[in-house]
Structure 1
Amino acid sequence: MLAQLLGVPQTMPGMLQNMLPFGTTQVNQLGALSLMPFQAMTQQATRHARRVYVGGLPPLANEQTIATFFSSVMAAIGGNSAGTGDAVVNVYINHEKKFAFVEMRTVEEASNAMALDGIVFEGVSVRVRRPTDYNPSLAAALGPSQPSPHLNLSAVRLTPGMIGGVEGPDRIFVGGLPYYFTESQIRELLESFGPLRGFDLVKDRETGNSKGYGFCIYEDPAATDVACAALNGLKMGDKTLTVRRASISNELVNTEHDSILAQAQQHIAFQKMALQAGGVSLPGIGVGPIASTETPTKVLCLTEVINVDELMDDGEYEEIVEDMREEGGKFGVLTDVIIPRPAPNGEQVPGVGKVFLEYSDAAACANAKDALSGRKFGGNVVTAVYYAEDKYYNRDYSA
């Protein structure tokens, strides 16, 4: 029919091949070549939804061990939606910061990998998160955004629904741990009161060594207070455990910081009063006006916390967001972290230099404000103020 419409005479089977200067093999090759740029474009467009961020890596981890581990684990839980073969196609690792971006074959496999948050890799419980360039609205059209409910997580000693790690109202702070205790030993101690939904031992980013404290959450919330009552004050070697609900105290993780923080806050208050009385603004505090309010809100705005130059690098930015999420989560249920970045073309972006911590309630935000305001960071004193919720929810970070 097409030949008739174009005025081309009907041909016998095989005649078209003879009319062309090359055979069908060459035609197929040309077709494959023409698809290559399209496939490359598709891969680029879906990369943000096919990558996962893996933080808290063990010191000896490398690209090969990470790829092998996650490919084998994905196969074990039945997460390979693209069939046989390795689910991991690429790994970028930042050895200094102990994190990696793991690229999966498909969007669905990346979503399945999100169920691996808290999995133990080379003796270390690692964090599995979406990268900061993940765009949920764009990803919705590319594939499922949640892990398959049919994954066999028990095959790798994970519990279904533990995504989110150790966040929640029943989160427990465990302090005073001997530094020589391994993660498995601590986990064994905690699991004597019931199965854990999540456990996170806080470690030094440079050395990978334990900092002597961590957080956990039990599958059964009824075990929370039982574990706190039994373990708090327990002597372990030359240490005494501090075990309590993480969301009901304004205390800092290290109680030695309390007096230092109080002195710093008092010093800053006096300094501000003296300078403002003379009509002088305090240097180095803030990066422009802040829509602050004395009335507690669910949003905390921090300044003098980050170096703006570090925000330009994707890896550095990812690590800063994760650090802020980890630190801010010590004071209550943290629902979001917003850190505006400079525009690649140099355009001014409102809010650059500020960190916004959104909590589930004002009480948690108040805990964070009391603990973080006046801390030293990079030689600067952190300022923490409540931020107007209407501006925050309207994505107005300029005020």
Structure 2
Amino acid sequence: MAPPTTAMLPGATAAAGQVPGTSPAIPGMLPNMFPLTSGQFGALPVMPIQAMTQQATRHARRVYVGGLPATSNEQKDSPVVLDCATWPANTIPILQSVATFFSHVMSAIGGNTAGPGDAVVNVYINYEKKFAFVEMRSVEEASNAMALDGIIFEGAPCKVRRPSDYNPSLAATLGPSQPNPNLNLAAVGLSPGSAGGLEGPDRIFVGGLPYYFTEAQIRELLESFGALRGFDLVKDRETGNSKGYAFCVYQDVSVTDIACAALNGIKMGDKTLTVRRANQGTTQPKPEQESVLLHAQQQIALQRFMLQPGALATKVLCLTQVVEVDELSNDEDYQDILEDMRTECGKFGPLVNVVIPRPSPDGEHAPGVGKVFLEYGDVESASKARQSLNGRKFGGNQVVAVFYPENKFYEGDYDG
């Protein structure tokens, strides 16, 4: 159960006119929050002015942490807000473990910039929805925490994002809005260029991506303009398939508008890309950038050719949006799907093999789940199949059929 909001620190006494077990109201503090007191966390006494300053910067000092592991029933009666400086001995274990975990991780990556001590000062947890708001001591430490997206906490990968009340324009006046590029992310099993650092005015929205584009292909396309600081291909939570849009940030933010101008509106397969700053407000490239833009457009033309379905015909086809993942777990359903595929897809020529990857029983990632691979005896038959199957409606979905590298197929590499 959550500790009562009237809990007091040992030795504390109630002042005149104050309800025992509560703290005097401080402007800018929520009534159920415990204010920092003199000597705790090695901080100076929190005066009203200081409290108001903390409240004004709070939106930039908090991070949202989603995907927390499930907790026991008695721990999810209601959301909990607790000040780390006033934890009672009987506080909820996961509440303390979240704060302790992120404090240790911040220290391990070199993300603490506000002096000695723990970076985390407050934690709010919603047990039912499995998310938390973790409040840091400083704006800079919160920005460094953004690099922790994907960190594994008690076996669960966590999403680290800015909260909905985050104001990028205001935050830019309070401190760094991006993680320090010199953070030692390898110390906690992360690598630069993941989804971390995807905030701020230079974040790019990339929409209209064909669903069959892999993460590696999209990265290769975007990196025609330079190295990425962050990249996030948005996927369906149930199937793991691409939703057709992504976000990215370049290490060199000066190429942001160049990339947007070169990529926006170009055809990719059966789609047209929409590429712009995520925070809107388009900016045209400067005249001195035109030569860079021309070179980038030439690179894009080459990439577009390489990614175009049908550009390099092979004997193997990869179909997506033809099977539901939950249908593949049942043996009878799976055999029916296999037989249907052999019958229908064998009409276009000699069908040598049909491979439909199945989900792993233990829930681990299984390469190629949701795809169907068709190996034909010759390229001509595979081409006929692709021409007939691509774009066909199946179960309300539009089938996507693309040629698949034969060497990857023969090696059992179905993640391409």
TM-score bracket for the superposition, by shorter chain length: 0.3 to 0.5
Q: TM-score, normalised by structure 1?
A: 0.39
Higher relative contact order (CA 8 A, sep 6+): 1
Q: Name whichever structure is richer in helix by fraction.
A: 1
Q: TM-score, normalised by structure 2?
A: 0.37
